[in-house]
Amino acid sequence: MFVTETDAAAADYKDPVSGKPLKKMSEESYFFRMSKYQSRLIEYIEENPEFIQPTRRRNEILARLREDELRDLSVSRTTFDWGIPVPDAPGHVLYVWFDALTNYLTGVGWPKKEVTDGGNPFWPPAVQIIGKDITWFHCVIWPCMLFSAKIPLPKTVFGHGFVTASDGQKMSKSIGNVVDPLEQLAKYPSDSFRYYLMRNGVYGSDIPFSEANLVYVHNADLADVLGNLVHRATNLCAKNCAGVVPDVAPERVFDVGALRATSEHAMKNLETQKCCELAINAMKDTNKYLTDAAPWAVKGDGAAERKAVIIRSTLEAVYAAAHFLSPFIPAACDHIFEKLGAPAKPIWRLSRESNLTPGTTVSVGGILFAKFEVEGENAEGGASGGGGDGKKKGKAATAPPPPKKKEPPKDAPVDVSRLCIRVGTITKVWRHPDAEKLYCELIDIGESAPRQVVSGLVDHVPEDEMLGARVVVVANMKPSKMRGIESAAMVLCGTGPDGKVELVTPPEGAPNGERVTFDAFEGEADEQLNPKKKVFEAVAPGFSVDAAGVATYEGCAFKTSAGVCALATLRAGTIK
């Protein structure tokens, strides 16, 4: 494996995975004059922001291209003979990436089929999806090769993240934190497994996997919302409408057209979490409609017709919303369509109000999702993905009584050791409904549930960059309401001399929940900062961004087990 001098120095001249020392070697090689395209590539990325997605991957590539000289690329090897021989160059084989990347072209028929005149339906590709660890090859080396060959570039290259352990660490057999997906699928339905990953993960970011969280999401969304709704709706139809779709005009429970438009926009941007959220929210709206309308309580003249309207409206809403959930829980949605006696149709053909045929038989059957009970971090029992009934047995965890809050010693120093600064990931972000300059976020800091935080960053950080961002937060602030919404932590940001604001970012590999430490400032953090004593206000002036972009307190770097916390482009500034 070849690494650049810059990357080798950053890793202390050791392999970042095995820790073995790197060996500096020299050999005869052919080179691709990649340096020729540095300015052109920077300009292309700046003018085509959709080329590298998500935004943080584009920023990483641009920062590296602007800061480092783009060197010519060694494209042949002579120290081994495995590989594709270089034509007319005995003893040389092609560098594996130089060969591998061209397979995208040969796979669609090039050079026999032209790819430059628009006649090839597969080139240029709309999206190439790759792992975040190989973005340099696909977003720098590959476009330079295509520039040289005068071949159009892919419209978008999307770098996805990895599934990590629950604390954000990379899964490793040596650490013992590997999750076997086959073991999970033996315990939980594939629909639940898929839904959890799509619902809880921001596509493009790492996804911490927690079995306890999987059970929580399964119970909350799939069992309590979806399963309960479908069972109630079909039961009501059986009891009040002879088990068939009633022949009455339905009410509009939610706007199918609006859901279709917002889902399409999100899917085009590969915002799979948002698509999943939109779909389950439609089911929640339907559940609320049914609860508020309460057909079981309707009495008096016209009661039968009113009940029929409510039931028809609920069945129609369930049918429509199931189309949007189907990519995430296909088995369960197939059962829904079977229960309603109506097969799925293309989403663009869905009517805004009426899609079911009156008189069609509606079946009740078993519940879609059985609930699980969880003990600690491990859920027990199994479930049916669309036909089981009853509740899976298992022990419920008993919560210990909350500990009494400890007051810091009277002689405790007023320095950064009093703050509990932790690593986190923003898993959800939305605009504050009553304050145009505020974001509301859910931030995973390694606890059983994410913290809700309110931050005044709307004017400084785009919403798509906030979602999935790795951050450091002051986690022992006393919760307070900001324009009516509670905030339970503070996101730390740097501000440059020109007023530019950036998030303080932990290094790759730092797990969510890890406490940030500072050399020379050891000590136990306050359990909760007392706002009357203004500890944070006294400590904050010591924060700064140094000339290398590292976050510091009184000259000591913000440190984690994976390295120091830094800012993307700021080189000197304040932190607050």
pLDDT in tens, 335-391: 999 999 999 999 999 998 899 999 999 999 888 998 887 654 433 333 333 333 344
Q: How many independent structural domains does the chain possess? A: 3
**470-474 and 490-491 as β-strands: parallel, antiparallel, unpaired?**
antiparallel
Domain CATH for 326: 1.10.730.10
User: Phi and psi of 564, rounded to 5°?
Assistant: -95, 160
The SS3 of residue 497 is coil
Task: Report the pLDDT averaged over residues 447-465.
Answer: 90
Residue 396 included in any domain = no
Per-residue pLDDT at 511 exceeds 90: no
DSSP 503: E
Cross-strand pairs, 496: none
Domain shared by 210 and 78, yes or no: no
Domain shared by 287 and 233, yes or no: yes
pLDDT in tens, 129-181: 999 989 999 999 999 999 999 999 999 999 998 888 877 778 878 778 888 99
pLDDT band at 237 (very low <50, low <70, confident <90, very high): very high
CB-side neighbour CA atoms (13 Å) of 520: 6
Q: What pLDDT was estimated at residue 486?
A: 92
Q: What pLDDT was estimated at residue 420?
A: 94
Q: What pLDDT was estimated at residue 26?
A: 84
Q: What pLDDT was estimated at residue 409?
A: 60
In the chain, what percentage of residues exceed pLDDT 90? Answer: 55
| CA atoms of 245 and 262, how far apart (whole Å) | 29
Residue 180 included in any domain = no
Residue 355 included in any domain = no
Task: Report the pLDDT averaged over residues 424-446.
Answer: 90
Q: What pLDDT was estimated at residue 406?
A: 56
Question: Which range has the worst mean pLDDT, 84-98, 108-122, 237-251, 434-448?
Answer: 108-122
Domain residues for 271?
A: 186-349
Q: What pLDDT was estimated at residue 242?
A: 95
Radius of gyration of the chain (CA): 28
| CA atoms of 315 and 574, how far apart (whole Å) | 56
Domain shared by 151 and 220, yes or no: no
What rounded mean pLDDT belongs to the chain? Answer: 87
Residue 442 included in any domain = yes
Domain shared by 124 and 259, yes or no: no
| CA atoms of 367 and 335, how far apart (whole Å) | 10
Domain shared by 434 and 562, yes or no: yes
pLDDT in tens, 381-426: 333 333 333 444 333 333 344 444 556 666 567 899 999 999 999 9
pLDDT in tens, 51-91: 999 888 898 899 889 988 999 999 999 888 888 999 999 99
Domain shared by 488 and 569, yes or no: yes
Identity of residue 256: V
Domain shared by 136 and 252, yes or no: no
Q: What pLDDT was estimated at residue 382?
A: 34
Identity of residue 358: P
Which is more confident, 411 or 48?
A: 48
